[in-house]
Structure 1
């Protein structure tokens, strides 16, 4: 079984919606990091303070085909192609340790259902 890491970076207010979309598409566990980003445009300044929106970085380890399915669902439902909606991407995993056996069994069952 081949795995991919799916990373979705969305504004903090879209975090719950993104997780729900991913779960509905078949994703299980997620690691959530919080941060700020610097875009192409200058940040807004309000009373001398620079406003920087908070972002959520969602990291999923998924079976390769499932990662693509989740990526497509996030792109469609969050409309990532629009400005300031977020970004999502995948990359392959060569070696993996520590994945939950229940998660692997879930991936195997989903693959069997596809066949």
Structure 2
């Protein structure tokens, strides 16, 4: 079985919306990591304190065949067509450990679907 990982950087106020959209498109879960970043525009400051909006990195480990629909759902839900809303990208996964219980479920689903 081949896997892909999607990493999406989003503002924390839309994290749940993006995760829900990804799950509706077939993702089984997500890992959310608090982050901060910098972009083309400088963060606003107030008396020397940065007023950057908090950011989350959402990580989705997916079967290869659902990576594209999940990426599309993330982009739509996050409104990535608007500047400064977020970014997401897909990376190949060479090896996976720790998914043994899920792999058994995947195998059963494939068996049920085709046999």
TM-score band (shorter)? 0.7 to 0.9
CA contact (8 A) 1:27 1:60 kept: yes
Q: Which moved more, 1:40-49 or 1:100-109?
A: 100-109
- 2:59 is aligned with 1:59: yes
Structure 1: segments with no counterpart, 5+ residues: none
Aligned length: 114
Relative to the length of structure 2, the TM-score reads 0.86
Relative to the length of structure 1, the TM-score reads 0.86
Secondary structure at 1:34's aligned position in 2? strand
Structure 2 residue aligned with 1:22: 22
CA contact (8 A) 1:15 1:56 kept: yes
1:47: Cα distance to partner?
A: 3.7
Structure 2: segments with no counterpart, 5+ residues: none
* CA shift in 2, pair 1:80/1:95, >3 Å: same
- 2:8 is aligned with 1:11: no
* CA shift in 2, pair 1:69/1:45, >3 Å: same
CA contact (8 A) 1:31 1:58 kept: yes
